[in-house]
Amino acid sequence: MTTAQHELTTDADLEWCYDAVHGVSRTFSITIDRLEEPMSKHICLGYLLCRIADTIEDAGHIPPAEQTELLTEYDRLLDPDTDQSVEAFMADVEPWIPEPADRSNDWDVVAETPRVLQTFESLDEEPREIMREPVRELVDGMAMFTDRYADEGGLRLQTLEELEEYCWYAAGTVGTLITGLVARGASQERAAEMRDNARSFALLLQLVNIAKDVESDYHEENNVYLPAEWLAEEDVDLDAVTDEENHNGVTNVVERVTGRAETYLDDAQRYLEVVPEQHGNRLSAWAIPYLLAVGTMRELRERPEDVVEEGDVKVPRAEVYALLQQFEEGMSRSRLDELRATMAEQPLHQ
């Protein structure tokens, strides 16, 4: 293949990766759209590498022992010092990939693992190697959790500490990846402050997702992330989190998880206040998910029972559009406080 042909192939693969992100995550799609090159492609590929592992970990139809083995194999694929082949990984994962007619966007990404990996490996060395270790830590963490709860057939987190350990592997590692990329060239003080607050930014977003997705996490993935110790205080069995008679108890736990997420708001905002706009990074890419989390916590405080009764708690679509418009018009960091306060109390579009 000539250099020109390789560049055309890489460009086509990268375009596919951008389309794939838009298919699997509304929130990350907004982030990617706000970034500029080269940051947009770095974050796009980093996200898809993590999504492959996340899809395997969330797959209720794959036995836990198989999940653990697939995740371990996938980690070896990402290790430049091993000879694990992508063909061998695909041979093992393909029996678990649904047929195209029944396949979700997430499984489309898993089916295209070779394309995602090839595009990742084509990146310049510095950003590629900054990304590699956090992704591998995420994959290793997910393998550890599927193995830990292999006998249960799905995750059944026991304590707040274990919940936040899981959140670290699922989201904190992504925060490390993002911080490594955007902190290049920043002052030592600024980079240190970002690293100090990256965990809070990531845990805020992940805890909000866990609070609002109780029903789908259980029914679609057979996972219960609400701490068993908190459910026990409400006399709720782990395998009865969506039963009607337990709605009140589960609602109380959802409120506690939401309250825990709120403790990370200030440090997460500080992360935004110091994140540099360089290498194609833009404040809006991270401020929008942060503010959407603020709005989602407002909805969770006002109607936590909807998590278990309707399984659908999110900010109104009109509010998302109103928030995007704020950034279209140009917004300084100094307005983060104002927008946070407004969205904590009422929808932004009202």
In the structure, how many helices (H) and strands (E) does the chain have? 19, 0
118 and 164, same domain (yes or no): no
50 and 185, same domain (yes or no): no
Please, is 86 exposed, middle or buried when counting C-beta atoms within 10 Å of its C-beta (0-12, 13-18, 19+)? Answer: middle
In a domain, 101, yes or no: yes
Q: How many domains does the chain have?
A: 2
In a domain, 259, yes or no: yes
User: From CA 232, how far away is CA 308, in angstroms rounded?
Assistant: 17
User: From CA 204, how far away is CA 208, in angstroms rounded?
Assistant: 6
At residue 5, the pLDDT reads 42
Q: Which residue has the tokens 């995740």?
A: 71
Percent with pLDDT over 90 in the chain: 91
Domain with residue 219: its CATH number is 1.10.600.10
Boundary (domain end) residue, out of 125, 145, 169: 125
Which residues have CB under 8 Å from 28's CB, separation 6+? 21, 47
Boundary (domain end) residue, out of 108, 125, 142: 125
**C-alpha to C-alpha distances, 43 to 11, 144, 166, 189, nearest whole angstrom:** 16, 25, 21, 24
Residue 330 has pLDDT above 80, yes or no: no
119 and 229, same domain (yes or no): no
At residue 196, the pLDDT reads 97
At residue 7, the pLDDT reads 58
137-188 pLDDT tens trace: 999 999 999 999 999 999 999 999 999 999 999 999 999 999 999 999 999 9
101-127 pLDDT tens trace: 999 999 999 999 999 999 999 999 999
At 332, is the pLDDT very low, low, confident or very high (cuts 50, 70, 90)? Answer: confident
**Cis preceding linkage at 95, omega within 30:** no
210 and 106, same domain (yes or no): no
In a domain, 143, yes or no: no
209 and 304, same domain (yes or no): yes
In a domain, 85, yes or no: yes
What's this model's pTM, rounded to 2 decimal places?
Answer: 0.94
Which range of residues forms the domain containing residue 89?
1-125
Please answer whether residues 113 and 89 qualify as being in contact, where contact means their C-beta atoms are separated by less than 8 angstroms: yes
At 202, is the pLDDT very low, low, confident or very high (cuts 50, 70, 90)? Answer: very high
82 and 183, same domain (yes or no): no
33 and 113, same domain (yes or no): yes
Residue 40 has pLDDT above 50, yes or no: yes
111 and 245, same domain (yes or no): no
In a domain, 141, yes or no: no
Residue 272 has pLDDT above 70, yes or no: yes
Residue 329 has pLDDT above 90, yes or no: no
**Bridge partners of residue 224, in order along the sequence:** 156
At residue 39, the pLDDT reads 97
* Mean pLDDT, rounded, for 277-289: 95
170 and 301, same domain (yes or no): yes
Boundary (domain end) residue, out of 74, 108, 125: 125
66-98 pLDDT tens trace: 999 999 999 999 999 999 999 999 999 999 999
312 and 261, same domain (yes or no): yes
In a domain, 148, yes or no: no
At residue 322, the pLDDT reads 95
* Mean pLDDT, rounded, for 334-345: 95
114 and 187, same domain (yes or no): no
In a domain, 145, yes or no: no
At residue 41, the pLDDT reads 97
Average predicted confidence (pLDDT) for the chain: 94
200 and 57, same domain (yes or no): no
Please answer whether residues 189 and 217 qualify as being in contact, where contact means their C-beta atoms are separated by less than 8 angstroms: no
DSSP string covering 158-208, please? -SHHHHHHHHIIIIIHHHHHHHHHHTTTS-HHHHHHHHHHHHHHHHHHHHH
